[in-house]
Structure 1
Amino acid sequence: MATKKQFLKSKPVVKVTFEVSAEAAQGASEVFVLCEALDWEKQPLKKFKAGHFKATLNLPTDAKEDYEYRYCLVMEDGSEKYDNDWEAESYRPNGSGEDNSVVSVVAA
């Protein structure tokens, strides 16, 4: 998964674009991002003809210094597979014996 960030000067948000390559999607029919900043609700990514998925989400910059996120692949058979970003900025334990990917919303 690749992420791109656009910091807005007019609002306390950063636009984070999440993109999951066709290879990483492994034939999934749907992909969602679960993000602490958005109350862990599944945010759908749009599927493109080439097999990759993409979505841009607004994450607040005035609440915390960083946010953890994981993404969920919904496979063709309807099962869910949770995975972390292969290219995450960092990882943090999630309390379930696994790690979550971390995206920073602080301008460098």
Structure 2
Amino acid sequence: MTKQLSNDWFISKSLLRFLIIILLVIGVFFRFVNLDKKLYWGDEVFSSLRISGYTLSEMNQQLSNSHLTSVEDLHKYQYPNAEKSSIDTIKGVAFED
């Protein structure tokens, strides 16, 4: 009787492991599907702004000068910038946070 219970537990354990792996694969798949169309959360926006080397006040000042803001204008603040260095990133974090 004890061997029967341990064999049933082994089947359940392997089935559970299989289900967890399947759920992880599905989760990773849905995380990366249409990644370019997913929206940023607020904290991701500020993280991207920090990585680009700009401060929030610089971004506001530059965007308020133009009457219409395009997507290309905003991309400048979402990716690392050749005009700014890592020192600018550190200064931005130290100054605003």
TM range (shorter): under 0.3
Higher percent of residues as helix = 2
Bigger relative contact order, structure 1 or 2 (CA pairs below 8 A, ≥6 apart): 2
Q: What TM-score do you get using the length of structure 1 for normalisation?
A: 0.20
Q: Greater strand share, 1 or 2?
A: 1
